[in-house]
Structures are given as structure tokens and as C-alpha cells.
Amino acid sequence: MAKFIHKRLFSVIFFFTALIVNAQEKTNVNDSVAEFEKTYAKALKLIDSLKYKEAEPVLKKVLKENKEFYKAHTKLAYVYLKQKNFKEAEKSIKKSEAIMPADFETQKIKAINFYMNNKFKESKSAIDTALTLASSQKMDEDAELLYYRAQLMFKGKSYKSALETCDNVLELKPKYMEALLLRAEIRFATKEYNYCIKDLNQAIKMMPAEKPDYSAYKLRAKCKFEMKDFRGAVNDWNVYMDGVPGEEEALISRAAALINVNDNSKAITDLDEAIKINKKNAVSYCYRGVAKGGNKSYTEALKDLDESIKLKFDYGAAYVNRAAIKMALKQKEEACKDLQKAESLGDDLAVKLLEQYCKSPN
């Protein structure tokens, strides 16, 4: 019995000794981590939580403790970038490069900063450098870097390459909303309206309800208009204009959709507002003339179409629409003159209308 107790006591002592040793080992490990690295870890947590403003002073504290810690310079550049303080971001990037010239993360942030400042040539160069570094270091593809590469391709009108790169981005990160929106823009540019709407529908579902990206509704409205879904276009313009009121382009575009669903009075209201914003836009007067013609206010319609042509003498569509009003007023000879002028300006519809109304015996 005494022997058994002795063995048990020995194992209890061994157990507690092991706990003490482990505790000492943990303490020694913690002691080996530099204070600036602990502070840096706090900054990273703030950045991961999108608390960029709060992360800024923490990173500055890190650099006060160790000004040669290039990773902190790079993260500070990223924080500045997210706060749209591009000049300070550039300064931090240069400091990081001076310490560690061949760092992927630094080159990536440098590329984005250049892009945000419309320095596209410099952005491409930094992207190429980052991709070379990633390849040499056998790093995984970075979705964000590829997204900006696709943006540059899109701006350069290399639509096929931009689309392929966007597809790659979305394979890496399927819920990358900005990449979906970019792919939709590419598809709008290449007139793939069905696919454009599909991407926009997906992106809109992913948006936080309290903070939607109204540009998605704007692009979807344009797609729907091109597909002759005019009522759908009006609905999307309504959402967009609730979030971004008083935009001339939106007022004109919604009016065009309203005209196509025979809601001429609402179209006139939008165009009145657009003309208050810009009295020199021939398109606004042309569309308002069409809307007034749709309401059979022919005299007022002619005044608007005259003003449109006065502002833009080579505006073929204005001549065609003025011809339509003159036809309604039984001024056939004058209407045909307008159609001839529109034809000379290369308006395809004018050619058909001339053949139909002005070259027949009747």
C-alpha cells in the first residue's frame, strides 16, 4: 500500500512539474516576441475588421518602435489607400520599397494606388512586377491583383482578355462583388446584355441592404433598355435616382424609357429637370419634343425640336423626329426636307421613311 501511494505521489509530482515546465516554456515564447510585433498583430486585427482609421495610429506606433519593419510601412500604405489618402500611401510605399524592394504585397498596393490615381501605365508596371514576384516565389494567384489587371484591360478596350481575367478572379473568389460588376461592364460593352443582367442580379443580391452600390442599378437599367424592357429600365432608374438624385444623364435616360412606355407626361417632367441642369444639351430638347408630340402638343414639340437642331445642327434623330411632327401637322413637303437632311447625315431610319412617305406617288 505504501509503495502504491509512493508511486502515485511521484506521478502527481511529475504531473505538476510538467505543468510548471510548460508554463515556463510558454512564458519564454511570449517573451521572445518583440513588442512591436505584438502591436503589429493588433493592427492586423483592426484591418481585418475594416477599421482602417483605428489601425493607422497602431501602425505608426509599430514604426516608432521599429522604423525598419517594412511590413508595417506596407500595411500603413494599404490603410491610407482605403481612406483615399493616396499621397500618404505613396510615401509609405516608397519607405517599404527602400527597405525591401522585392515584396509582393508592396508592389500590389503600389499598383492599386497608381490605378486609383489614374496612372494606368505605372499601375500596369507594378502589376507586372508583382506577378513576376508571385511566380518566382510560387505564390497562389491573388484575386485582388488580377481584378485590377482586368480593370486595366477593360480601360484599354481589350475586352476578351479582361473577361477571361475576370472569370479567373471569380473562380478564385466567387463572391467578389466588384469583379462581378466589372464583368457586367465588359459584357455591356460587348453587347452581351443577357449575361450583363445575370451578373448584375447576382451582385445586387450580395450587396448590403443599407449600403447598395447604385451604379449596378444604373448599368442594369441601360441593359434593360437595350433589350427593350423599358418598364424594367424605368424601375431600375427609379432606384438609382433615389440614391443619386439630380443627375442629368439619369433624368434623360429615364425619360427615354418613359417615352417608350407612353408615359410622356412623366418623361417631360424629367426632361424639364434635365434642361434646368443643362440648357445646352440638344438631346434633352429632342426627347422633350418627342414626348410633347406623343401628347399631341405639336406646336410645343416643334419648338423643342427646333431648339435641339439649333444646338446641334448635325443631329440626325432631331430632324427625323421633327419630320414626324410635321407629318402629323400635314406639312409633308417640310417633313420630307427634314428626312432628306437626316439621310445626308447618315440616319438609317430616315432612309426608310423617305422611301415610305416621300417617294411614293401619293
Residue 5 has pLDDT above 70, yes or no: no
Residue for cell digits 447598395?
Answer: 212
Residue 136 has pLDDT above 50, yes or no: yes
pLDDT the model gives residue 143: 97
Amino acid at 222: K
pLDDT the model gives residue 360: 60
Residue for cell digits 519593419?
Answer: 69
pLDDT the model gives residue 361: 57
Q: What is the pLDDT of residues 211-256, one digit of tens each?
A: 899 999 999 999 999 999 999 999 999 999 999 999 999 999 999 9
CATH code of domain 33-139 = 1.25.40.10
pLDDT the model gives residue 96: 96
Phi, psi of 252 (to 5 degrees): -65, -45
- State the Cα–Cα distance between residues 316 and 318, nearest whole angstrom: 5
- State the Cα–Cα distance between residues 188 and 153, nearest whole angstrom: 15
Residue 202 has pLDDT above 80, yes or no: yes
DSSP E strands, 100-234? none
Contact 143, 169 (CB under 8 A): yes
Residue 38, helix vs strand vs coil: helix
- Alpha helices, DSSP H only, in the chain? 2-32, 35-48, 52-65, 70-82, 86-99, 104-116, 120-136, 143-155, 159-172, 177-189, 193-206, 214-226, 230-243, 248-260, 264-277, 282-294, 298-311, 316-328, 332-344, 348-353
* pTM for the structure as a whole: 0.84
Helix (H) or strand (E) holding 358: none
Amino acid at 187: R
| Cell numbers describing residue 66 | 521599429
Q: Directed axis angle between helix 248-260 and helix 214-226, to 10°?
A: 40
Q: What is the pLDDT of residues 159-194, one digit of tens each?
A: 999 999 999 999 999 999 999 999 999 999 999 999
What is the pLDDT averaged over residues 64-81? 95
- State the Cα–Cα distance between residues 336 and 324, nearest whole angstrom: 9
CA 238 to chain centroid = 19
DSSP E strands, the chain? none
What is the pLDDT averaged over residues 76-102? 95
Helix (H) or strand (E) holding 114: helix 104-116
